[in-house]
Amino acid sequence: MNERQIHLDYHTFSSQYRVRLSEGHTRLLLENYDYPDGWQPREAPLFIRYPDAYPRMQPAIYIPENLHYTQGPVVHRMQCKFDGWKRWCTHHIPWERFELVTTDDNIDFMDVVRASLAHPSVRNPLQDPAPKSFLQRIH
């Protein structure tokens, strides 16, 4: 696990969210993540769990179990859950092309997360047709 990269992620997220990093540096909690329209509550935590092979492998995303989508079905929530969190499906993406978060205009992993949260009833918001393009919807 690349702790230097995790600390960089922590500092990048800190400019936008209240952030907590676990003692072992394996989990990052965004305490006040701003979920897309349709989620209740709109501001809620989002939990990032880093794999041992990070950044060579993508992290896992978890959302609060009591977070609800009010505008239709949700197909991205997975059955895996623990301590009030449910795993959020971010698809099998070509991880080597992404970074968790960037400070420039590149698409990063959190853009993919945002797209799947903005279109939770679409099986794959990166491939399935959506009302607007992926980038227009997330920015």
Name residue, tokens 């230097």: 4
Please report, for the domain that includes residue 66, its CATH number.
3.10.110
Outline where DSSP puts E strands in the chain: 19-21, 27-34, 39-40, 43-49, 60-64, 68-69, 77-82, 85-88
Range of the domain at 82: 3-138
Tokens of 56: 């060579």
C-beta of residue 126 within 8 angstroms of C-beta of residue 134: yes
Taking 50 as the threshold, does the pLDDT of residue 19 lie above it?
Answer: yes
pLDDT band at residue 39, thresholds of 50, 70 and 90?
very high
C-beta of residue 86 within 8 angstroms of C-beta of residue 65: yes
CA distance 107 to 1: 23
Instruction: Read off the pTM.
Output: 0.80
Q: How many domains does the chain have?
A: 1
The pLDDT tens digits for 71-99 are 988 877 777 777 889 988 876 555 555 55
The pLDDT tens digits for 122-132 are 776 666 544 44
C-beta of residue 59 within 8 angstroms of C-beta of residue 51: yes
